[in-house]
């Protein structure tokens, strides 16, 4: 039995409140969603929610935003409800990151430099924490640990976006060959108001944009089209969580000189302190890039482009998920791809995150302290950002 339809404004308001209060990253977001929509509102049951989470973790893209978008599609009885959910959940952190991009250029003096350096130290601690957590869940055995190591080597030797894509592709192939363990138990299926025709159209649009924007951007001077292409391709390749977008976006923006490495890492550090999805880092990068038609235009283009592939994929997969997830070969390939993601992020932990932030012994001590705060003492990421930002300013005054 289909749930009763909820209005666009109601869905937007519910997700706006979550966007203002959901700190802690994708795993925490999924916990907030469960409390709100399974426990409090009863929009769907535990098994149906687990089924939806499994789909969004299976696909590339920001898993928590994909879950929220799908819940909006389900409860709003269509695409408009999904858009309301995405907009409400994304808007608060996107506005904060855009505002930081506008103000970051005017920072000057020792305190401002120290603050930026503190944000870069935050990025080291957070990415190290993410690598550890992902290694435990995505590479828990010898075979998958070997796949992760192989992916790290591929990225280090080949470099750039091609190396990252090759690493994930090789990981999927290795998983298909080596990770044919028993399939996980399947949970109850949940129905969504998405026809197969609409699903196929979304998948065709996903593929068309992936190919078409590269062709359009390749023959033109850097501008909004190039920005859309860079963020769309990055969003289409993110497996395993929002932190994985870091090396992808770094290859797309820092390497061609669209944004400096210091500003890139500073924005990433700030993104740890805001609620909502980590992908709103794109709003900062789009506004701060040197190629957009203007800050607001760049932020909007980058934000839409980085989220769009994941949302198209989940919308296209909703009508077919119950059959696809039962294929053992698909499950094996995804185990390998997810293990490769650990290696890709591990390579990024060293360069650019570590090499751009840890310049002397006291930086190392600060990073270790931040890492312990996250992993051992379970301090909220926002608190870690404040502490290390203050430490960075203190270092510049000493």
58 and 140 in a common domain: no
267-322 confidence digits (pLDDT tens): 888 888 788 898 999 999 999 987 877 899 999 999 999 999 999 999 999 998 76
Q: Is residue 131 part of a domain?
A: yes
113-131 confidence digits (pLDDT tens): 888 788 888 888 888 888 8
Q: Which residue has the higher pLDDT, 98 or 119?
A: 98
Number of folded domains that form the chain: 2
331 and 247 in a common domain: yes
Q: With cut-offs at 50, 70 and 90, classify the pLDDT of residue 217.
A: low
348-358 confidence digits (pLDDT tens): 889 878 988 89
CA distance 183 to 192: 24
Residue 347 to residues 129, 131, 149, 328, Cα–Cα distance (Å)? 14, 10, 10, 29
Q: Is residue 321 part of a domain?
A: yes
Name residue, tokens 């399947």: 186
- pTM metric for this prediction: 0.79
165 and 226 in a common domain: yes
211 and 158 in a common domain: yes
Among the candidates 91, 111, 132, a domain finishes at 91
Q: Which residue has the higher pLDDT, 367 or 160?
A: 367
- The domain of 226 spans 94-397
pLDDT of residue 398: 83
Q: Cβ-count burial of 9 within 10 angstroms (0-12 exposed, 13-18 middle, 19+ buried)?
A: exposed
Among 27-41, 243-257, 383-397, the range of highest mean pLDDT: 383-397
- Percent of residues, the chain, with pLDDT higher than 90: 40
156 and 29 in a common domain: no
219 and 343 in a common domain: yes
Q: How many CB atoms lie within 10 A of CB 210?
A: 17
Query: Among candidates 191, 187, 188, 198, which has minimal Cα distance to 315?
Result: 198
What average pLDDT does this structure show over 170-179? 93
Among 99-108, 200-209, 343-352, the range of highest mean pLDDT: 200-209
Q: Is residue 1 part of a domain?
A: no
161 and 14 in a common domain: no
What average pLDDT does this structure show over 49-65? 80
Q: Is residue 210 part of a domain?
A: yes
Q: Which residue has the higher pLDDT, 53 or 147?
A: 147
What average pLDDT does this structure show over 189-202? 86
Q: Is residue 159 part of a domain?
A: yes
Q: Judge whether 58 and 338 are in contact, CB under 8 Å.
A: no
Residue 163 confidence (pLDDT) above 50: yes
78 and 107 in a common domain: no
Q: With cut-offs at 50, 70 and 90, classify the pLDDT of residue 70.
A: very high
**What are the CB-based long-range contacts (under 8 Å, 24+) for 73-77?**
73/192, 73/193, 73/194, 73/315, 73/318, 74/3, 74/43, 74/44, 74/190, 74/192, 74/193, 75/3, 75/5, 75/6, 75/11, 75/43, 76/5, 76/6, 76/7, 76/8, 76/11, 77/2, 77/5, 77/193
Q: Which residue has the higher pLDDT, 199 or 290?
A: 199
Residue 343 confidence (pLDDT) above 50: yes
Among the candidates 91, 110, 142, a domain finishes at 91
Q: Is residue 206 part of a domain?
A: yes
pLDDT of residue 1: 46
Q: Is residue 2 part of a domain?
A: no
What average pLDDT does this structure show over 46-75? 84
339 and 239 in a common domain: yes
76 and 110 in a common domain: no
Among the candidates 31, 63, 91, a domain finishes at 91
230-269 confidence digits (pLDDT tens): 999 999 988 756 677 888 888 889 988 899 888 898 888 8
Q: With cut-offs at 50, 70 and 90, classify the pLDDT of residue 66.
A: very high
pLDDT of residue 342: 87
Q: With cut-offs at 50, 70 and 90, classify the pLDDT of residue 60.
A: confident
371-380 confidence digits (pLDDT tens): 999 999 988 7
Q: Is residue 196 part of a domain?
A: yes
119 and 35 in a common domain: no
Residue 362 confidence (pLDDT) above 70: yes
Residue 27 confidence (pLDDT) above 70: no
51 and 138 in a common domain: no
82-97 confidence digits (pLDDT tens): 999 999 999 999 999 9
The mean pLDDT of the chain is: 86
């Amino acid at each position: 039995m289909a749930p009763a339809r909820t209005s666009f404004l109601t869905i937007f308001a519910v997700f706006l409140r979550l966007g203002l209060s959901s700190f802690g990253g994708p795993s925490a977001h999924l916990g907030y969603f469960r409390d709100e929509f399974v426990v409090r509102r009863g929009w769907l049951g535990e098994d149906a929610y687990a089924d939806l989470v499994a789909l969004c973790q299976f696909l590339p893209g920001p898993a928590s935003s994909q879950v929220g978008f799908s819940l909006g599609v389900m409860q709003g009885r269509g695409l408009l409800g999904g858009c309301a959910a995405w907009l409400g959940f994304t808007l608060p952190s996107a506005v904060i990151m855009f505002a930081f991009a506008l103000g970051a250029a005017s920072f000057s003096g020792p305190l401002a430099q120290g603050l930026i350096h503190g944000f870069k130290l935050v990025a080291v601690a957070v990415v190290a924490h993410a690598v550890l957590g992902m290694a435990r869940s995505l590479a828990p055995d010898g075979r998958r640990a070997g796949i992760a190591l192989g992916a790290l080597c591929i990225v280090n030797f080949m470099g750039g976006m091609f190396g990252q894509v090759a690493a994930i592709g090789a990981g999927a192939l290795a998983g298909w060959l080596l990770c044919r363990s028993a399939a996980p138990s399947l949970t109850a299926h949940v129905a969504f108001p998405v026809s197969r025709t609409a699903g196929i159209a979304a998948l065709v649009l996903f593929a068309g944009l992936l190919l078409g924007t590269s062709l359009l951007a390749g023959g033109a001077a850097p501008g909004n089209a190039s920005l859309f292409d860079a963020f769309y391709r990055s969003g289409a390749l993110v497996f395993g969580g929002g932190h994985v977008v870091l090396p992808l976006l770094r290859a797309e923006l820092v390497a061609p000189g669209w944004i400096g490495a210091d500003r890139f890492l500073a924005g990433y550090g700030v993104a740890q302190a805001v609620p909502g999805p980590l992908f709103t880092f794109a709003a900062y990068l789009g506004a701060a890039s040197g190629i957009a038609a203007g800050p607001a235009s760049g932020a909007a283009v980058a934000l839409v482009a980085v989220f769009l592939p994941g949302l198209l994929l989940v919308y296209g997969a909703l009508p077919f998920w119950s059959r696809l997830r039962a294929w053992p070969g698909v499950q094996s390939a995804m185990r390998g791809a997810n293990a490769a993601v650990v290696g890709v992020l591990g390579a990024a932990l060293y360069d650019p995150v570590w090499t751009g932030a840890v310049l002397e012994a006291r930086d190392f001590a600060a990073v270790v302290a931040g890492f312990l705060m996250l992993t051992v003492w379970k301090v909220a990421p926002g608190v870690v950002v404040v502490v290390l930002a203050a430490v960075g300013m203190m270092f510049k005054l000493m």
